Amino acid sequence: MKLKFSWGTGIFIAMLSFMIFILSFVYKAVAVDKYQHELVSEDYYKDELHYQEEIDKLNNAGKLNQDILIRNSNQGVHISFPKDIDESSIEGDITFQRLSNEKLDFTETIKLVDHEQLIPAEKMVSGKWIIKIDWKTGNNEYLFKDSWFY
């Protein structure tokens, strides 16, 4: 028996193969838990309304004589604030976001010892973090954002 293979059969096989290929990606994106796609922020549109405030805070931070410094150690992450600002007047929050898993996100209240705050190693998981430090002293508000590998 001889199998007849015409151009119509070839086009049908090519289209069927392409459709199976695309549907396999759709299945992986929707049904497989390994490929989670979480939003960075649940309230994206609400956050967008406050974007100008963030720009102003970032500009204020850019005018400081000394930037916030971040370094890793065996104890955890050390965050150093500018020495020319009275540490007792500094208040705010430090937020750590893990883009790959929002369950690892956490926020710490700023509690300085000698212009430095330690985030313990027990709270950290190795990988890329987004660090956001929203702080104020007196009437001045500042914002520091950085990507950091621990």
Record the tokens describing residue 142, joined without a space.
């500042």
List the single range of 23-32, 57-66, 90-99, 131-140 with lowest mean pLDDT. 23-32
Q: pLDDT for 86-138, tens place per residue? A: 888 899 999 999 888 888 899 999 998 888 999 998 988 888 999 999 999 98
Q: What is the pTM of this model?
A: 0.67
